[in-house]
Amino acid sequence: MKLLDALQWRYAVKRMNGTKIPAETLETILEATRLAPSSFGLTPYNIIVIEDQATKLKLQPHFYNQPQIGESSAVVIFAAHTSITEKDVDAYMQEIAEQRNMPVEGLKDFSGYVKGAIAHQSQEQLQAWATKQTYIALGFALVAAATEQVDGTPMEGFDPAAVDAELGLAAHGLHATVALTLGYRDAANDYLSSAVKVRRTADKLIIKK
Ligand X SMILES: Cc1cc2nc3c(=O)[nH]c(=O)nc-3n(C[C@H](O)[C@H](O)[C@H](O)COP(=O)(O)O)c2cc1C
CB closest to ligand X, residue no: 157
Q: For ligand X, which is the closer residue by CB, 11 or 140?
A: 11
Q: For ligand X, which is the closer residue by CB, 14 or 58?
A: 14
**Three-state SS letters, 82-111:** CCCCHHHHHHHHHHHHHHCCCCHHHHHHHH
Which parts of this chain interact with ligand X (CB under 6 A)? 11-12, 14, 66, 153-157, 178, 197
Shortest gap between Cβ of 27 and ligand X (angstroms)?
24
Shortest gap between Cβ of 107 and ligand X (angstroms)?
34
Q: For ligand X, which is the closer residue by CB, 108 or 197?
A: 197
Shortest gap between Cβ of 45 and ligand X (angstroms)?
15
Report the distance separating Cα 173 and Cα 83, nearest Å. Answer: 7
What's the N-to-C CA distance of the chain in angstroms?
33
Shortest gap between Cβ of 102 and ligand X (angstroms)?
38
Nearest to 188 by CA among 12, 60, 16: 16
Report the distance separating Cα 81 and Cα 44, nearest Å. Answer: 5
Report the distance separating Cα 119 and Cα 86, nearest Å. Answer: 8
Q: For ligand X, which is the closer residue by CB, 114 or 183?
A: 183
